[in-house]
Chains A and B, each alone.
Chain A
Amino acid sequence: LAKTTQPISMDSYEGQEVNITCSHNNIATNDYITWYQQFPSQGPRFIIQGYKTKVTNEVASLFIPADRKSSTLSLPRVSLSDTAVYYCLVGGTSGTYKYIFGTGTRLKVLA
């Protein structure tokens, strides 16, 4: 099971771009990288998933270098409502593959 390492916390101001980097040095060939957002007393919410290079959706971008040993979640122009914990997860493609959550990154967006 691939282990992930993220910064424990980050602060940002409204309107800024936030980049959260995750290290996953022992990622396996078949592993995908997935990011989730969690608000207090709620279940994690899927943000974005990728395998290599760059993936973009309506809320975020995910940058994955060629060696895939790290990834960066980019949140453009954050708002106060983006204050949450962000988890980077690395997992296989089998239906029974289980995620092991790391510490996550606690992002606080300031006015």
Chain B
Amino acid sequence: GAVVSQHPSWVICKSGTSVKIECRSLDFQATTMFWYRQFPKQSLMLMATSNEGSKATYEQGVEKDKFLINHASLTLSTLTVTSAHPEDSSFYICSARETGGPYEQFFGPGTRLTVL
């Protein structure tokens, strides 16, 4: 099956710094990728839809200036958490759907962000 990777798998940073998380589709092209956030014992919450070559579409309540998304190629999307604070600590998961391929989304392994 299609594989989606994320880097880093975990990161610890100080409050006020920015952190970049990469999401890659390893063996397929993905025009669209999705970013989710998941707090402990909770479900995944969709943050934004990342479209290759265009601006991301953010869900209501998600600050686009705080969570910068760039989808510069058909295999890479990045999420940058700017000026991170402890409340941004969470598990961030990306997913991708193969362009013109099957309908299921393939999810990455997730990135654990801890802001001190």
Contact = CB atoms under 8 A, between A and B. Distances in A.
Contacts, number: 59
A104 B104 CA distance: 17
A93 B43 contact: no
A46 B43 contact: no
A107 to B, nearest CB: 15
Kindly state the interface size class of chain A when it binds its partner: 20 to 34
Interface string A87-111: 1000101011011111110000000
B110 A101 contact: no
B109 A93 contact: no
A99 B46 contact: yes
Contact of B32 (A34, A93, A96, A103): A96
B103 A98 contact: no
Contact of B103 (A43, A91, A96, A102): A91
Which secondary structure characterizes the binding site on chain A? loop
Which secondary structure characterizes the binding site on chain B? strand
B58 to A, nearest CB: 11
A45 B6 CA distance: 15
A45 B49 contact: no
A96 B107 CA distance: 15
A42 B99 CA distance: 24
A104 B36 CA distance: 15
Interface of A: 32, 34, 36, 41-46, 49, 87, 91, 93, 95-96, 98-104
